[in-house]
Chain A
Amino acid sequence: MRKVNSNGQAFETRREKDLLSHLISTSPKYKLWIAFLLLIILFGMFAYYRQVKYGLIVTGMRDFTSWGIYISNFVFLVAISLVGSLFSSILKLNKNEWAKPLIRVSEFIAVAAIICASIIIIIDMGRPDRFFYVITHFRIQSPIIWDVMIISTYLVISILLLYISIIPDIALCRDRLTEIPNWKKRFYRIMAINWVNHPKQVAILQKTSKILSVAVLPVAFAIHTVTSWLFATTWRPGWDSTNLGPYFVSGAFMAGAAIIVIAMYFIRNQLKLKSYITGSHFNNMGKLLVLLSLVYLYFNINEYLGPAFKMVGVEGEHITELFAGKYSLLYWFVQLGGLVFPIILLLFRKMRKPLPLLIISFFVILGAWVKRFLIVIPSLQHPYLPIQDVEESYLHYVPTWEEWAITLSSFAGLLLIVTILIKLFPVLPVQEKELVINTDINPLIIKNES
């Protein structure tokens, strides 16, 4: 029986109607949300204009704290982007059927986060016009070059991963959606690359999807490990550690799982998908979050126990500052509020219901961001060589409004990209069953007839 929505758009099934309706109509709430995000981005652009005009002096960064919240935010965004590989690779290859509806959301977030991370790293440059010097003065010994290479690779892989999983649904949009503007029709036609559910096409797509699922994993591990090496290869207290790679990667997966919970909560409510993203998804995500948080807690203990036991020189000063000094409030908020309490709370089934899980995930995400701040800034304020005869401003770091505006606009940018992707493509796979690759089946039968 054909279903028709308020725009006069006909659908074949209830599932199609539920998952494709939001692609046709645009609510005032959606427009308001986009306008709000654009406003924040514009504000960030104004702050960046000031930074380009006057230089990095408008930031709180000085000689010692030369990496501020831009780099903390960069590490955070790279961490968030790992969520794509968690769902598209780890959970998929382990045949976790429950996680399937969340794969696409995770890929949306991964693509958006890695784009924003790439932009923020250029914003951190005092002379962005010299960005191409990275290529013209290419130096393979530099961990920064490794990072540039791996970020661009991961960006391409994330886009491919998303695109490959979405092709059949784009074709469905091309065939089904009649009540959409012409540009959108043309867009779906181009993006669908002549997809007709032909068994040969299905076979190729499934094969490439498998290859990518395997290939993305080492790249995802590499991207965050290399990011950790930017710190580990710099001689500063708190960074001089062999634990940094797994510590970063495990923290990234934890933050990624938390952001998925937040995304699925809002998507489920805004797009009215309660029968597709169910309480059991939240329950499972809660369990997954506990597991990932426990792994991260283990690496946290590893990271701090050794230096805290020895308390050697500047390393000891750094630990003291974190445990009982000026950063102690933030430090204990992160360790308790963003890690230990979520683990304990999520052990109870009641806490794995949508709303409590959403609140806990917010704390995990906030903790994850502050954690990156604590990794970057206190270490920079304790160089091994003593600080002598310097300006007072070099000794402290307080981010300026320009830095906060740019950082906020990077979050707005991430949300904007995700919102646009949700508006362009179905958030869940529309075709209920896996596409069959049996060549005996007449391709015409499974073609998306309009």
Chain B
Amino acid sequence: MKVKRYLYPALKIFLLVGLIFGNNILVYGQDAMEDAKVAVSFSEENGIKAITAIAVDQTGMPIEELELYFYVKRTFSLLPIGDPFNSTNENGMLEIEFPNDLPGDDAKGNVTIVVKIKESDLYNDLTLETTKNWGIPISLDPLKEKRSLWASSANAPISLITGVSIMIFGIWFIICYIIFKLFKISRIRL
């Protein structure tokens, strides 16, 4: 019985120590990860736009089966492009097609293309950003925008602005008048 009394706590401590050490080894392993080098190039042929990425390690050797993620920066988040999972081939090369229907950020059709290495077992995370005029140019000239309910605030319908303003100013005029009258009440003395 006495053996059991000491054996179980000892086993627990042993397991705990083992876990801590094991974890340290894992952390040490993560520290040993290296940086990958990724070169991104762009090509356009017969209206098909392609992004090519070549990944090499520190010694210049191509990295095979490295997962790369491609995105286009949008207003609030990154829009993934290409397949859900894209891996490099034996030459460390990967090519994806850029969609033709993405609106650009400005009148020139500029878009920001982002290439990432994420959560790789061997290589550190990496983010590359490149601006390219591959988007559909958009006109942001507010003067050319038609007045409507869905337009920017500067181009709200005149009838709406007038209607709301008359109502709000009307009622706030009454409020101000009442406050003024309260002030007058306070000035009257016996």
Of A175-183, A203-211, A367-375, the segment with at least 4 beta carbons within 8 Å of chain B is: A203-211
Contacts of A194 in B (CB 8 A): 185-189
Closest chain B residue, CB of each to CB of A160: B178
Q: How far is the CB of A11 from chain B (nearest CB, A)?
A: 23
Contacts of B190 in A (CB 8 A): 196, 198, 443-444, 447
Of A104-112, A124-132, A135-143, A249-257, the segment with at least 4 beta carbons within 8 Å of chain B is: A135-143
Q: How far is the CB of B156 from chain A (nearest CB, A)?
A: 5
Q: Do A204 and B150 have beta carbons less than 8 Å apart?
A: no
A164-B189 CB under 8 A given contacts A140-B160, A146-B164, A153-B168: no
Separation of A139 and B161 alpha carbons in the complex (Å): 10
Q: How far is the CB of B181 from chain A (nearest CB, A)?
A: 5
Q: How far is the CB of A217 from chain B (nearest CB, A)?
A: 11
Interface: B3 (CB within 8 A): no
Chain A contact surface mostly: helix
Q: Do B174 and A215 have beta carbons less than 8 Å apart?
A: yes
Interface: A200 (CB within 8 A): yes
Chain A contributes a number of interface residues (CB within 8 A of B) equal to 34
Contacts of B182 in A (CB 8 A): 163-164, 193, 208
Chain B contributes a number of interface residues (CB within 8 A of A) equal to 28
Q: Do A140 and B188 have beta carbons less than 8 Å apart?
A: no
Q: Do B171 and A215 have beta carbons less than 8 Å apart?
A: yes
Q: How far is the CB of A441 from chain B (nearest CB, A)?
A: 13
* Residue of B152, B160, B186, B187 with most partner-chain A CB within 10 A: B186
Closest chain A residue, CB of each to CB of B161: A140
Q: How far is the CB of A151 from chain B (nearest CB, A)?
A: 12
User: Of the candidates B168, B178, B188, which one forms a contact with A208 in the assembled complex, judged by CB atoms under 8 Å apart?
Assistant: B178
Interface: A358 (CB within 8 A): no
Contacts of A218 in B (CB 8 A): 171
Q: How far is the CB of B187 from chain A (nearest CB, A)?
A: 8
Q: Do A219 and B181 have beta carbons less than 8 Å apart?
A: no
Contacts of B157 in A (CB 8 A): 141
* Residue of A146, A215, A218, A447 with most partner-chain B CB within 10 A: A215
Separation of A19 and B181 alpha carbons in the complex (Å): 28
Interface: A157 (CB within 8 A): yes
Tally of A-B Cβ pairs under 8 angstroms: 73
Closest chain A residue, CB of each to CB of B172: A153
Interface: B175 (CB within 8 A): yes
Separation of A163 and B190 alpha carbons in the complex (Å): 22
* Residue of B153, B182, B185, B190 with most partner-chain A CB within 10 A: B185
Separation of A222 and B157 alpha carbons in the complex (Å): 21
Q: Do A212 and B186 have beta carbons less than 8 Å apart?
A: no
Separation of A201 and B188 alpha carbons in the complex (Å): 7
Q: Do A153 and B171 have beta carbons less than 8 Å apart?
A: yes
Interface: A156 (CB within 8 A): yes
Interface: B184 (CB within 8 A): yes
Q: Do B185 and A205 have beta carbons less than 8 Å apart?
A: yes
Q: Do A204 and B181 have beta carbons less than 8 Å apart?
A: yes
Closest chain B residue, CB of each to CB of A157: B175
Contacts of B160 in A (CB 8 A): 140-141
User: Of the candidates A140, A193, A215, A222, which one forms a contact with B186 in the assembled complex, judged by CB atoms under 8 Å apart?
Assistant: A193
Interface: A35 (CB within 8 A): no
Interface: A195 (CB within 8 A): yes
User: Of the candidates B167, B172, B179, B189, which one forms a contact with A196 in the assembled complex, judged by CB atoms under 8 Å apart?
Assistant: B189
Closest chain A residue, CB of each to CB of B180: A208
Closest chain A residue, CB of each to CB of B148: A141
Q: Do B185 and A204 have beta carbons less than 8 Å apart?
A: yes
Q: Do A160 and B175 have beta carbons less than 8 Å apart?
A: yes
Contacts of A156 in B (CB 8 A): 175
Separation of A218 and B170 alpha carbons in the complex (Å): 11
Q: How far is the CB of A369 from chain B (nearest CB, A)?
A: 29
User: Of the candidates B150, B178, B179, which one forms a contact with A141 in the assembled complex, judged by CB atoms under 8 Å apart?
Assistant: B150
Contacts of B172 in A (CB 8 A): 153
- Residues of A that sit less than 8 Å from B by CB: 137-141, 146, 149, 153, 156-157, 160, 163-164, 167, 193-196, 198, 200-201, 204-205, 207-208, 211-212, 215, 218-219, 222, 443-444, 447
Task: Give 7 CB contacts A-B under 8 Å.
Answer: A137-B153, A140-B153, A141-B150, A163-B182, A198-B189, A211-B178, A219-B171
- List the 8 closest pairs (A to B, CB-CB), nearest first: A193-B186, A139-B153, A140-B156, A141-B149, A208-B181, A215-B174, A194-B186, A201-B185
- Residues of B that sit less than 8 Å from A by CB: 149-153, 156-157, 160-161, 164, 167-168, 171-172, 174-175, 177-179, 181-182, 184-190
